[in-house]
Structure 1
Amino acid sequence: MIRSVLVANRGEIARRVFRTCRDLGIETVAVHSDADAEAPFVRDADRAVALAGNAPADTYLRGDLVIEAARAAGADAIHPGYGFLSENADFARDVAAAGLTWIGPTPESIEAMGSKIRAKELMADAGVPILSVDPAVLLEEGANPDALLERHGPLLVKASAGGGGRGMRVVEDPADLAAELTAAAAEAASAFGDETVFVEPYLPTARHVEVQVMADVHGTTWVVGDRDCSIQRRHQKVVEEAPAPNLSEPVRRTLHEAARAAAEAVGYVGAGTVEFLVADGHLDGGRVHFLEMNTRLQVEHPVTEAVTGLDLVALQIAVAEGRALEGEPPAPVGHAVEVRLYAEDPATDWTPQTGTVRSFDIDGARFTGPEGPGLRIDSGVEPGSEVSVHYDAMLAKVVALGTDRPTALRRLDGALRRARVTGVTTNIDLLRAIVSDEEFVAERVHTALLGERLEAWTVPVHDDAAVRRYALAAALASARAATAAAPVLGRIPTAFRNVPSQPRTRTFRHGDAEVEVSYAAAGRALVSDAVEGVDVVDATPDTVRLSVGSVMETYDVRVGDDAVDVSGPHGTLSWEPVPDFVDPADVVAEGSLLAPMPASVATVAVKQGQDVVAGQTVVVLEAMKMQHTITAPSDGVVRELAVTAGAQVESGAVLAVIDLGDEGTAEGETP
């Protein structure tokens, strides 16, 4: 029987596994990098072992150090979570060789499904429908790309050993095929140490549907329902739900039978997910194609837990202890939808964000059933947490459960609207736009939907009048806070003037927008005509109430040194006070290219004095596992290079200065 579990992971998945371990009475051990020393998951564990360094290659990917940590802390089992070492067959073998229990599938199963090419061959032999083009055809001398694309349509080049969208290229023009094969192989070699790629027909409007399986060492394989994961960006999932909506029963049955066959074909043990592309899934003749099998727990496993009442982590532990799965898995009840909350800005090409989380408040609790509370938050952060450049940008998963899909979506949108997550820019407005979109609500989902609807989903959710009300609330609360903190003049009414000829004015910045608002003293009260049709009811350093016609609106405000966070009826906006006078030292030279986020400099592609043309790469940054290209906005000359490869830069740091002549001031682009 397992008594102590080390989780070879970090963030929300480590906390998730720890939660089940506590329920089972199992001791917990965390491993952590230097950057994660104060992270919530470390404090959640009974014991913690430091792994010196920050880079994953030096810490969470060092299987030898993880096993040493388990021995040092007295753990007798290791749970890998997802990512990092979770699908590393050699690590699984090393864990067993060290006399520890591996909470996962056999190394042989991991290897069988680790190569997407080999997995497709195994699935074809097992009678599972696959979608593939023989890569050897592309390498034959005299192969005709035009004929290939004419036969199959657009093609998708994929890394055999990879995931998460890396080493993946869409080819629509035959002339691009050779170059994209080469580029995909290079990216695959860099990301996964294996340059092998394969090709399959690209189905842009198919659905991504996956099936959860659970198997024990006694030969029992459960099919634990299905999930739809079609809302994706760059082949990374953003929204998941269970059961998969708008599937015909014949197609659902085909999916479940194929998933069972896939698991049994490799003697699978533990929790796993079999992923499929489904074309015309709402029709009886919908086409099902095997994509891959993930030999681990999925990020989106909570939606399956929500509708079945199962604890998949507890089942993983039970299977690892040799216990048998009894009976049949429960049928799904209700509907669950999960969204991934990221520290990123979708409106600026998904630029990852870093910084200190000032507030993290999302209504949520463990599920008690489809009737409620119906919200679950799996988070890796809390107020005061640092979001660094070293790891994935996901902050939390927000899951809503309802008796049906419309109820779950409404509950989820309400939770996101009331959420207060400040200190870093997040994708919360995008998530709200998705779950209320007419196409999504109508269950017309497919893997290209986010790309098609992105412009509509990234428009500002607040109109100008609402934005001005939020800015006014920020100004009034800031004024009250300044009065309360004044050591000498605190008894003088806020905004008081001996000669009240003009109101006080304040300017606040939200993103690229600056809003100026005004207010004045009326005795000890505050008044403002800055927003037409809006009157001030009262204001404190923490709360502002405004009358909008006959409607009262209440704003909760947090006034900080450098930011003012305002939460109201339309969500939360964070404001940066704009100083009345600009420090000359803060003014950058004309033509400066600035870092859009803290990052490391991966490549400097130009030399000082070099001529550059518009769109030419100047610097490549790397942050949160993603690369970001800074390009010249127009033709010019590199007058100054301020960084070198390998350097660490902060947000707003000058990377280079381009002499643009008469073209104007440069701005970095991050395509």
Structure 2
Amino acid sequence: MFKKILIANRGEIACRVIRTARRMGIKTVAVYSDADARAPHVKMADEAVRLGPPPASESYLKAELIIDACKATGAEAVHPGYGFLSERKSFAKALAKAGITFIGPPPNAIAAMGDKIESKKLARDAGVNIVPGYLDDIATTDEAVKIAKDIGFPVMMKASAGGGGKGMRLAWSEKDVREGFDSVKREGLSSFGDDRVFIEKFIEAPRHIEIQVLGDQHGNILYLNERECSIQRRNQKVVEEAPSPFVSPEMRKAMGEQAVALARAVGYYSAGTVELIVNGADPSGKSFYFLEMNTRLQVEHPVTEEITGLDLVEQMIRVAAGEKLAFGQDEVRLDGWAVETRVYAEDPYRGFLPSTGRLVRYRPPIEANTHHPSESGDPASKNEKLGSRVRGNDESVVVRVDDGVADGGEVSMFYDPMIAKLITWAPTREAAIDAQVDALDQFVIDGISDNVDFLSALMQHTRYRSGEITTGFIAEEYPEGFEGAPTDAQLIADLAAIAGMVAVITDERAAEISDQLGEAVHPLCERVVCFGGAEHKVRIKPYKGGTLALLDGGELIDIVGRWAPGQRLLTVLIDGRKRIVQVRRAGRDWELQTHGATHRVQVLSPHVADLAKYMVDKPAPDLSRLLLAPMPGLLTRLDVAVGDKVEPGQPVAVMEAMKMENILRAARAATVKATPAKAGDSLAVDQVIVEFE
């Protein structure tokens, strides 16, 4: 076994690998760019080596720097994580030439499966079902238009070396092809160093299901069940689960055996994933097609670990060291249900725009600070392993957080915007989903925007809970964007009572502090809670263990659990109903965040509420003449000049943020008056790009 390994990655996956290596008694070496100098993965490792400036092309993507770091520290092997160099044949070969072990598959398998065009040809020749399409390189936009018409719309344009949702565009018409083809080529080149593009038929009502495979260097290859990854936004996975609610045992066996046959055809070993597109409209489950094979660890690997009891990182390390798999196909367990949600630095209330900046405060769910994969690689010991994890309030539920951030850290525009992965396990799918909702309520993230409300709303959505999902779920269910999860009357009443309690306790505290303004607290304090366009009259009486509230003259509400001024996370029982609420001060108002929505609430004294009705709202400034940067990022292209006339929907500029290109369009017909920004500028959010007449 190796004595020291280097992790050629950053963030949560670097931390994830370090934890397993530490448990195995293996020393670790972290690498970092200047942007990550104080990142958690650097502090966790036994040693750390600086690579270079923040751009990945000058740091994490430079293979020679990784090899130099191995030589300087004596690292015998490299785990690449995912992304960056994890699927570069040249990197694996360079490591071998330097006498360093690559913890992953052989270079030839990376080459065969990492190239989406060639892998589809290989799968076709091996008798595997593939999606109809054109599998040769496409050079020009006109050629792409002709091919798309021949295949028949809708089609999907994909970068040959793409992954993680990058380098993909769905085209419903010739216009979409002409607008998106060059963008796909550029994304492929900037993210993967390869601008080749192919086109294939888009399967409507598709489900994205993948098979985890694991092989050793002695010819043993197994499949470790499937994962459902259909909940996606812009072709990037948001929610994953294992197993899939759609897959039957017969379908699982057919998919698994096909995945193993494909892996065997290329001499595969280590962990890998065969991705399939499945026709969700076919109840037989027989209409599944090969998409690609990812020759690395997947972001969503924890859900497979939770249902099998295996530590996939440990298995990869053991395979790289030459060990045989210690179990066979019949010993692979499928125990319970696991769900993973990806917590991203993005604003779902503003079209999921990326958010960058300082992570002022970060607290993962309180029950989940130290959850890591199991102590043993034996899949038969699932029950023993669950005992080593911190459980939720329900003893049958496990909550796990994989992250690589900390208070004061920076979410940079140079890298993927993922903050953490939340994984829950339970005996049933419904219980695992319920555990997600409770845990998401406990995520505390300040300083940047996050998608926690959106993830909670997904977990509560009746269609998701039914299992009737496709890759179009988010676009179909949120066509006008996200505005928060629906709120029922009971939750509104409970939040109004909580808001009244919080305000009264705050006033009570202020009145007790010398030289602070504050009214005397009466036995029953009256307040008016302005919430959701309605007013609620509430009478509040705090007591030692909680608060009594009388809402709108109705029945008395008993809030068991006390809130202290400045307390962020509040867990209370309201007449037996458990509520987990985040409390924030927002100017003179309060923000209450729970159950997939953030509510802005005003709490006023009765006489102030009467006078407030006469206050005139300040009108919002007219921004219709301006094209503003919707996010921080790089302006890569400006398509207009002063004097140009534009039509509604016409592309005006292209911005790159978090490695994704975003086309900015004109909202209406207009003439360009000024262009304060130019291509190559780094823009702040709401910075003016174009001013119209």
- TM-score w.r.t. length of structure 2: 0.80
Cα deviation, residue 325, structure 1: 0.8
Report SS of the residue matched to 1:541: coil
1:448 and 2:478 aligned: no
Which residue identity does 1:346 align to in structure 2? P
Counterpart in the other structure of 2:382 = none
Which residue identity does 1:100 align to in structure 2? I
Counterpart in the other structure of 2:292 = 292
CA distance in 2 between partners of 1:602 and 1:632 (Å): 17
CA distance in 2 between partners of 1:144 and 1:599 (Å): 29
Counterpart in the other structure of 1:88 = 88
Cα deviation, residue 401, structure 1: 0.9
CA distance in 1 between partners of 2:676 and 2:551 (Å): 43
Q: How large is the RMSD of aligned CA atoms in angstroms?
A: 4.4
Q: 1:648 to 1:195 in 2, by over 3 A?
A: closer
Counterpart in the other structure of 2:607 = none
| Pairs within 5 Å for 1:647-658 | 647-658=681-692
Cα deviation, residue 566, structure 1: 5.4
CA distance in 2 between partners of 1:517 and 1:388 (Å): 42
1:340 to 339, 342, 349: 342
CA distance in 1 between partners of 2:191 and 2:510 (Å): 51
CA distance in 2 between partners of 1:122 and 1:52 (Å): 38
| Pairs within 5 Å for 1:40-51 | 40-51=40-51
1:11 and 2:42 aligned: no
Does the CA-based 8 Å contact 1:336-1:402 persist in structure 2?
yes
Counterpart in the other structure of 1:602 = 636
1:395 to 419, 441, 448: 419
Counterpart in the other structure of 1:413 = 437
| Pairs within 5 Å for 1:161-560 | 161-173=161-173, 184-280=184-280, 283-284=283-284, 286-328=286-328, 329-357=331-359, 358-362=361-365, 363-364=367-368, 365-366=371-372, 368-369=385-386, 372-455=396-479, 458-461=482-485, 463=487, 465=492, 489-490=515-516, 494-495=518-519, 540-542=564-566
Cα deviation, residue 113, structure 1: 0.9
User: 527-536 or 382-391: which moved more?
Assistant: 527-536
Unaligned runs of at least 5 residues, structure 2? 374-384, 388-394, 604-611
Report SS of the residue matched to 1:336: strand
Counterpart in the other structure of 1:500 = none
Per-residue CA deviations over 1:112-140 (Å, capped at 9, x if unaligned) read: 11211211121222222222334469999
> How many residues matched?
643
CA distance in 2 between partners of 1:319 and 1:366 (Å): 20
Report SS of the residue matched to 1:32: strand
Q: 1:412 to 1:389 in 2, by over 3 A?
A: same
Unaligned runs of at least 5 residues, structure 1? 498-502, 660-671
Report SS of the residue matched to 1:337: strand
Does the CA-based 8 Å contact 1:536-1:547 persist in structure 2?
no
Does the CA-based 8 Å contact 1:556-1:567 persist in structure 2?
yes
Report SS of the residue matched to 1:35: helix
Report SS of the residue matched to 2:254: helix
1:75 and 2:92 aligned: no
Report SS of the residue matched to 1:127: coil
| Pairs within 5 Å for 1:566-645 | 570=595, 573=598, 591-608=625-642, 610-645=644-679
Does the CA-based 8 Å contact 1:608-1:638 persist in structure 2?
yes
Report SS of the residue matched to 2:441: helix
Q: 1:516 to 1:45 in 2, by over 3 A?
A: farther
CA distance in 1 between partners of 2:314 and 2:37 (Å): 27
Report SS of the residue matched to 1:395: strand
CA distance in 1 between partners of 2:74 and 2:8 (Å): 14
Report SS of the residue matched to 1:17: helix
Counterpart in the other structure of 2:381 = none
CA distance in 2 between partners of 1:187 and 1:300 (Å): 23
User: 227-236 or 351-360: which moved more?
Assistant: 351-360
Q: 1:517 to 1:541 in 2, by over 3 A?
A: farther
Per-residue CA deviations over 1:54-93 (Å, capped at 9, x if unaligned) read: 1111111111112222222332211100001100111111
Counterpart in the other structure of 1:66 = 66
Cα deviation, residue 197, structure 1: 2.3
CA distance in 1 between partners of 2:584 and 2:229 (Å): 39
Give me the identity figure in percent: 37
Per-residue CA deviations over 1:617-651 (Å, capped at 9, x if unaligned) read: 44433221123344444344544443333333333
Which residue identity does 2:223 align to in structure 1? V
Report SS of the residue matched to 1:426: coil
Report SS of the residue matched to 1:87: coil
CA distance in 1 between partners of 2:127 and 2:363 (Å): 48
Report SS of the residue matched to 1:68: helix
Q: 1:607 to 1:23 in 2, by over 3 A?
A: same
Q: 1:298 to 1:570 in 2, by over 3 A?
A: closer
Q: 1:188 to 1:413 in 2, by over 3 A?
A: same
Per-residue CA deviations over 1:405-446 (Å, capped at 9, x if unaligned) read: 122122222222333333322222222222222222222222
Does the CA-based 8 Å contact 2:274-2:294 persist in structure 1?
yes
Does the CA-based 8 Å contact 1:422-1:565 persist in structure 2?
no
User: 545-554 or 253-262: which moved more?
Assistant: 545-554
Which residue identity does 1:359 align to in structure 2? Y
CA distance in 1 between partners of 2:422 and 2:21 (Å): 21
Q: 1:70 to 1:285 in 2, by over 3 A?
A: closer
